[in-house]
Chains A and B, each alone.
Chain A
Amino acid sequence: MSIVNNASIHPSVDVSQRELLIEARSVSYRIGNRQILDSVDIAVNRGEIVTLIGTNGAGKSTLIRVLLKLIKPDQGSVIQHPGLRVGYSPQHVHRDSILPLTVRHFLALGESISLDQIRELLEEVGVGNILAQPLTGISGGELHRVMLARALLRKPDLLVLDEPMAGVDAASQSELYSLIGDIRDRYGCGILLVSHDLYMVMADTDTVVCLNHHVCCTGHPQTVITHPGFISVFGKDLSNTLAIYSHSHDHDHSTHRPEPETSGRHA
């Protein structure tokens, strides 16, 4: 598996002319006495793929919910580009068979749109044949694509995908990844991706933000992988990506210095 070779800064990301879509500034959030987010900074520019990585319970979904203004942070602020259109694919979509909803009807809920447009969009995300299927009757992988289609219906400036690979087998994953890359090119939108998949982080991302309640490190994948904050979360054996969750990381890496290209925050 070639990790670094696939990592290239996308041509559409011009560092001098960045259009900031969304930004969180030192956001903190706690539930009871558990500090879920501790002074977190994150930003997404147009044409950029930002991948938010971290283990389960690191606060990834909470950060997304704060960014989308679904919950208010205790401290800090969220700045959205005026008139920002967000396409969102939540991590969990509860499907209940008591509600008779076909894929077509589900998509039509998002925007007023013609049948032809829905068909075209489903083709685009690679599931043109499930238009008339009940939402409860499609597979997990198909559901992710339908959610992606629903998000794209809004012609978004920013696409927020929370764990779009959950329950998707390896073969379909790489397909879905290249689809997400294509979408960035075609729509020229910014993409914020939540993932715990190291391979994806390396392959197609402009900026990685490594979260463990605070931002351990952030930067381009190539520089992040050598960052002590990253290593302490994901371990040195980067090719062994499946082992990443076995690490405990209540770490203190204040003795380390961040790499020059990487801005690191240390708790």
Chain B
Amino acid sequence: MEDFFLRAIVGGLGFAIAAGPVGCFVVWRRMAYLGEAIAHAILLGIALGFLLEIEPMITVLAICFIFAYLLARIDQDMMISTDALLGSISHFALALGLVVLAFMEHIRIDLISFMFGDILAIDSFELMTIYTVAAIVCLQVKWQWKNLLSITVNQDLAAVEGVPVEKTRLLLIMVLAMVIAIGMTIVGILLVIAMVIIPAAAARCLARTPEQMVIVATMIGCLAVVSGLYGSLTWDVPAGPSIIVVAGVIFFLVNLIPFRER
């Protein structure tokens, strides 16, 4: 097996492992649009990386963090719906990223690779970052599992039972921001949220408990990464989209199978 291909598989699996647990909370708590908004700020992070001449991965993580924090602070009492507000801010961030990149005339970047990922060009620094993030994400979800699930089921009840609701909510959003930042290198800005949502959504039909759903989602994500990458090698098609196509096919297949109880 070629070295670049092995690195791609290892990196993709790291992302799938981080995306599985977080993806479940994203679909349970209906945070898909929030995730997409964070993803749209990634280009700003990349531009910042070129500007400061440091690894874009670091600046992307930083920008995702800041952006997620700001989005988490959105006041519920505003006149505009959260939905419209997220849509406005996220596309503003995307457009701003494109404009800033265009101003940096000395740099020629391949926009397509950022939009749809460049998993086959993944380097060892990125691999290290992906696995560090995956470890942090999995440990946080494990440690905070009960609190996270509690605020997902009923926030008021959780608060009365002594769960620090705001802290837990912020933690989840921050963890989501990290997953999206590392996903950028795997499937790109436009598809990263798909890799968070689709495996989790597909796992619903196969799971009877939240814990099962997290495990199944992670396994579906891993399956999508490996088969997507092999498919892309075999038919010479782009890797990122291939992974998402496999995940999507799994999603449709499990929904076709009739289950006694869902």
Contact = CB atoms under 8 A, between A and B. Distances in A.
Interface of A: 65, 68, 70, 86, 88, 90, 93-94, 96-102, 105-106, 109-110, 134, 137, 150, 154, 160
A90 B262 CA distance: 26
B233 interface: no
Contacts of A88: 156-157, 160-161
Contact of B160 (A68, A97, A99, A102): A68
B197 to A, nearest CB: 11
Contacts of B85: none
B22 to A, nearest CB: 15
A193 B208 CA distance: 34
Interface in B120-164: 146, 149-150, 152-154, 156-157, 159-161
A106 B159 CA distance: 16
Given A96-B28, A109-B146, A109-B150, A101 B209 contact: yes
Contact of B209 (A94, A100, A150): A100
A160 B159 CA distance: 14
A90 B212 contact: no
A100 B204 contact: yes
Interface residues of B, number: 22
A97 B213 CA distance: 13
Interface of B: 27-28, 146, 149-150, 152-154, 156-157, 159-161, 204, 207-210, 212-213, 261-262
Given A88-B160, A154-B161, 11 more contacts: A86-B160, A88-B156, A88-B157, A90-B157, A93-B154, A98-B27, A98-B28, A99-B28, A100-B207, A100-B209, A100-B213
A70 B213 contact: no
20 contacts: A70-B159, A88-B156, A88-B157, A88-B161, A93-B154, A94-B154, A98-B27, A98-B28, A98-B204, A99-B152, A99-B210, A100-B213, A101-B209, A101-B210, A102-B209, A105-B209, A106-B153, A150-B157, A154-B161, A160-B160
Nearest to A160: B160
A65 B156 contact: yes
- Cβ-closest 7 pairs across A and B: A88-B160, A99-B28, A100-B207, A90-B156, A109-B150, A100-B208, A68-B160
Nearest to B155: A70
A176 to B, nearest CB: 19
A134 B213 CA distance: 14
Contacts of B153: 99, 101, 106, 109
Contacts of B204: 98, 100
Contacts of B157: 88, 90, 93, 150
Given A70-B156, A90-B157, A110-B161, A97 B208 contact: no
Contacts of A98: 27-28, 204
A207 B159 CA distance: 27
Contacts of A105: 209-210
